[in-house]
Amino acid sequence: MLREILRVIVDEELVTNRELAKKLGVQIETLHDMLQMLVNKGYLRSNTCNIQEQGTCSSCPQRRGCAEMTTMQGASFSVTEKGLKWIRRAQ
């Protein structure tokens, strides 16, 4: 299931935690734990938005559901090179 999370993030580019949990059939809390595992293993990188520096969300490509993307508001994830290699190995 961890690889599936990475695949969805890569394939769909931007997905909220709620959408991802529904797609995987897991509770949001379970998804948060899995996302943290992927970060700890180096397969995902947490990207935190700094609204003070950017000034506006309207031009941000992550604005759709940004507040829901992680347990911290204004953060999202991207798959690392290590994560991409892990996905490819399983294919």
Q: Kindly list the domain boundaries of the chain, sorted by start residue.
A: 2-89
* Torsions phi, psi for 41 (to 5 deg): -85, -10
**Rounded average pLDDT over 52-70:** 51
Cα–Cα distance measured from residue 31 to residue 46, given in angstroms and rounded to the nearest whole number:
15
**Rounded average pLDDT over 11-32:** 86
Name the more confident of 15 and 20. 20
* pLDDT for position 72: 38
- Going by C-alpha positions, the residue among 28, 41, 19 that lies closest to residue 71 is 28
Q: Which fold has domain 2-89?
A: Arc Repressor Mutant, subunit A (1.10.10)
Under the banding of pLDDT at 50, 70 and 90, the label for residue 62 is low
Please give the share of the chain, as a percent, with pLDDT higher than 90. Answer: 31
Under the banding of pLDDT at 50, 70 and 90, the label for residue 75 is low
Cα–Cα distance measured from residue 52 to residue 69, given in angstroms and rounded to the nearest whole number:
19
